[in-house]
Amino acid sequence: MVALGGSAGSLEAFEQFFRYLPVRTGVAYVVVTHLSPTQDGELLQVIAHFTSMPVLEAKDGMRVRPNHVFVIPPNYDLSLLHGSFYLLKPTQTPGRRLPIDFFLQSLAKDARERAVCIIFSGMGSDGSLGLKLIMENFGMVMVQDPETALYDSMPRAAMATEFVDFVLAPELMPTKLLDYVERPLLGRPPRPSDTRDEVDNKPAHALQKIFLLIRSQTGHDFSYYKRNTVFRRIERRMNAHQIKEFTQYVRYLQENPHEVEQLFRELLIGVTKFFRDHEAFEHLKMHMRSVVQHKENDSTIRVWAPGCSTGEEAYSLTMLLLECLDTVDPGRYLKIQIFATDISADSIDFARAGLYPENIAADVSPERLQRFFQKVDGHYQIRKEVRDLVVFALHNINKDAPFTKLDLLCCRNLLIYLSGELQKNLLPVFHYALNPKGLLFLGPSENITGFQDLFQPLDVKWKISRRTETASSLPRLANFPFSLSSHPLASVVSPVLVPASASARREGGAFAFLIQKELLRTYAPPAVVINSKGEILYVNGRTGKYLEPAPGLSGMNLFEMAREELNFEISGAVYRATQSHEDVVIDNVRVRTDMGQQMLRLSVRHLGETETLAGLLLVVFEDQPTPRRLRLGKQSVSLEQRNDAASALEKELQYTKHRLQTTIEEMESSLEELKSTNEELQSANEELQSTNEEAMTNKEEMQSLNEELMTLNMQYMARTEELTQSANDMKNLLDATEIAIIFLDNDMLVKRFTPPVSRIINLMPADVGRPLMHFASNLRYEYLIRDVQQVLSRLTSLEINLQATNGQWYTMRILPYRTLDNYISGAVITFTEITSLKQMEQQLQESVRFAASIQEAVREPQLTLDNQLQVLTASRSFAEAFREQSDQLPGKRLLHLNGGAWDKPELRQHLHQLLDAASEQAEFNDLVLDMMLPEIGRRQVVLYGRRLLYQGQPTQQVLLGVRSIGAAAAGA
């Protein structure tokens, strides 16, 4: 079942997809988009033009059918249950609805590994959460190549999750989809089963080799994860590369280290969200209030969240605890310390940043969004004061030591992926890590079966338990983390009678163990395993005839427990075996038992076959046939027997003398060694005294150094606060100026940019670190990259006015980025909007042209003069009347025209009065001048003048007009 999710710009992608898709594929397709309530039936009609398959609008109770296309109706959320559609009225506002995520979560739970998710063009990040659930349930995820999408926000948000199998153009998707759909039936390896026969069909040691390759490259051991889950994750990667055999995939991993990293990420798929199972967190909040109320003043509430993934659950716990502290008496001071751990470094880095897409609004209430989050570039970021309460760290739960003294341990939906053996070893560790009456919060599919003595259930449904006062069992803790074995010893079970018709063949394990145990009990003689000191480490069979507990507070020592008749023989045999490093056997040793005298063979053998048994001895007691008269003690004591007894006593005496002499020599040697050791100890004591004095001196130096470090730390803290304040000031300054700024490094990679840049170049926060040449601009200018390279090479600034495709004008300045050390570390590009200035310039030019055209139309000769009496404009009639070139008049001084004929004192006086803003005279009329004009002769000129104003204010310009030109008066 294939879900096609898209938003803005997705119709073109849908058309390309269905155009290359065969009609009969055996697959059902569901199109889910963002539709407004007024688009009833429009999408249905559009999709019907793209394909010849039946296109239906999903309705309540409608069954999913293959080779059909189903379209979500507007203003509904679509869900799937047991292969049927169900429609729900949305509970979120239109701006916060996430219909694609809603359907994908339902599809993942219902179709599981048969689910396929395809994300097409669109704005926002809808679908990025749902595709994680598709991946978690072993489905397949495809995303449209952002380069082919009209709007690439949704494809890029999906790719940012790293849970994507294929990134393709829409026309290439059908081929890959059909290949994937057919492979599970034809070519994919069989699903692993819990039955042993099917598991044995897997290539020998292939899985262990895969574990070994992952551990060699990442340092993490996945051999304790559930085999069924691991097999299915591996199977997904094999499908992606069209590999059929496990042995071939092992080879592929060896040749491609990058694939090992991909498989590692596949095994670490962590589907999480804020307040997952909202009701569970409400019940936890109720129980945590009691824990918080009973905490002592000025104490710390410690919480550990292993397997935190990208941090949503850890931050959910932080918000919940902060809300619990709101109910505490203000006079009490409690601190919060939360440890969130994971084995994925990428997840830890993501969690530390605390930056999440807008679609979390579906899981977090508006009140919590306002209190604990801040809006940053279209994302929600956890506020700094909340992030500071959480310590994110790399930690492997199956080998690293746990955090201790906890009030809450939240391990949700992690144990379900681990083997039963590892779960049994982890729960006692959780008990050890928690404080008395601390809480354990597990996932809904996890339980504490077998450990009810360690935890008291408080909420059975939501798996909230309280640590009991029971002390942690040392044997349970001893198995973690270094004693885990992937091949545990078979447990001893009682024999079971089976009917004769049952198969005679028995598998190994418990049955073979019982047979071996019975054979040892029946045929093996009594024996003990001892070390060189005689301490008994292991007892086999019934040894009561030969050994008995010694009186007093003695231990399990063979020499102390041996019966009186055997003490000499055992100690002698053990001594000879130890000295000669050979086995010792003594026959006809007599021991008195409750049944009379008993003859036995005493054997002392070395156990050196393996490193574990090196240095140990096996002492065996084998009964020998004993004459009845000797056993009952009824034979008469003959002279020969007395001689034998005397010989035995003499033999024992000689042995004792030999032992005594050896002991004396050893004592003398030991005494010499002790004297030498005493001298060395005295010398060592003097050295230690000297070392102690040095240590005291070092201690004083360390104290002084510690004080300096504290002072330095305070300085660093003050500097950090200054930097934080400077960063805040800089951010507000950049936001207030609304200037588009791009910071580049020497390789022209984007280091930082301000939000207004998006109006010119379509940059997003995720684009930091990408080359500038990868982005197209909205400017009508093709040489931006060349200009940046020129600035970086010549270290000179560049300024140019540019126009955008939307008609706006910008002043672009490119300057070298100089550090405080005057080191060039890139370039800075600024775009200042000058659209209004350009419009004013254009209006001014039009006004000038208009004024000039009016002046040209006026018949009277006219001039426009500035405050220096230079000609700004002149009418054509003026040039014709006074025999001047019209194109040469602008820029000339009035007093120089016509050979200085205009240089008249009375004219200068009137013009300067008009230019003086303080003067009340704004005009003059009928000023008569007699002028001698070259080529014309003497003429009488009547002039008038006007002060030019703009919006009622002087402009430092005047208008000079000629009312008439006549012959000069006689005699003038």
pLDDT at position 509: 54
Share of the chain above pLDDT 90, in %: 21
Contact 451, 431 (CB under 8 A): yes
Q: Are strands 140-144 and 29-33 parallel, antiparallel or unpaired?
A: unpaired
Contact 783, 774 (CB under 8 A): no
pLDDT at position 67: 92
Q: Order across the sheet with 527-530: list the strands.
A: 536-540, 527-530, 616-623, 596-607, 584-593
- pLDDT over threshold 60, residue 24: yes
**How far is it, in rounded angstroms, from Cα 244 to Cα 169?**
26
Higher pLDDT, 559 or 610: 559
pLDDT at position 192: 39
Q: Order across the sheet with 750-753: list the strands.
A: 750-753, 740-744, 824-833, 809-818, 798-803
Task: Please give the single-letter amino acid code of residue 54.
Answer: P
744: tokens are 């580049």
In terms of residues, how long is the chain? 972
Lowest average pLDDT, out of 516-530, 629-643, 807-821, goes to 629-643
311: tokens are 């941090």
Question: In the chain, what are the domains?
Answer: 2-186 (3.40.50.180), 196-267 (1.10.155), 278-478 (3.40.50.150), 518-629 (3.30.450.20), 738-833 (3.30.450.20), 849-967 (3.30.450.20)
Q: Are strands 406-411 and 434-442 parallel, antiparallel or unpaired?
A: parallel
Q: Which phi and psi (to 5°) does residue 361 adopt?
A: -60, -20
Label residues 557-583 b or e (16+ Cβ within 10 Å = b): ebebbbeebbeebbbbbbeebeeeeee
Provide the 8-state DSSP code for 541: S
- pLDDT over threshold 50, residue 759: yes
Q: What is the dihedral of CA 243, 244, 247, 248, to 10 degrees?
A: -30
Q: Residue 580: which pLDDT band, with cuts at 50, 70 and 90? A: confident
**How far is it, in rounded angstroms, from Cα 852 to Cα 848?**
6
Average pLDDT over residues 822-847: 87
Question: What is the CA angle 883-888-893, rounded to 5?
Answer: 90
Q: Residue 65: which pLDDT band, with cuts at 50, 70 and 90? A: very high
321: tokens are 């605890």
Structure confidence by residue, pLDDT tens digits, 416-470: 888 777 888 888 889 989 998 899 999 888 888 778 888 889 988 898 999 988 7
pLDDT at position 639: 63
**How far is it, in rounded angstroms, from Cα 267 to Cα 473?**
32
Helices 257-267 and 206-218, packing angle to 10 deg: 100
Helices 10-19 and 42-50, packing angle to 10 deg: 30
Kindly report whether the peptide bond that precedes residue 146 is cis, defined as omega within 30 degrees of 0.
Answer: no
| Contacts by 773-776, CB closer than 8 A, 24 or more apart | 773/748
Task: Please give the single-letter amino acid code of residue 596.
Answer: G
Contact 495, 514 (CB under 8 A): yes
Share of the chain above pLDDT 70, in %: 89
Q: Given the structure tokens 């390896």, which residue do they identify?
A: 189
pLDDT at position 75: 83
pLDDT at position 642: 66
Higher pLDDT, 27 or 228: 27
What does the mean pLDDT of the chain come to?
Answer: 82
Please indicate whether residue 34 is annotated as part of the active site: yes
Q: Residue 636: which pLDDT band, with cuts at 50, 70 and 90? A: very low
pLDDT at position 272: 82
pTM value is: 0.44
**How far is it, in rounded angstroms, from Cα 304 to Cα 407?**
9
Point out the catalytic residue in the list 34, 379, 431, 910: 34
Question: How far, in whole angstroms, is CA 914 from its chain's centroid?
Answer: 76
Q: Given the structure tokens 């007691």, which residue do they identify?
A: 621
Average pLDDT over residues 570-590: 86
Q: Are strands 406-411 and 299-306 parallel, antiparallel or unpaired?
A: parallel
Q: H helices of 821-904, where?
A: 835-857, 876-881
Give the chain's radius of gyration (CA, Å): 48
Average pLDDT over residues 742-761: 90
Q: Residue 171: which pLDDT band, with cuts at 50, 70 and 90? A: very high
| DSSP state string for 481-502 | SS---SSPPPPP-------TTS
Point out the catalytic residue in the list 101, 126, 342, 407: 126
Structure confidence by residue, pLDDT tens digits, 354-394: 999 888 888 899 999 999 999 988 889 999 999 999 999 88
pLDDT at position 481: 52
- pLDDT over threshold 60, residue 885: yes
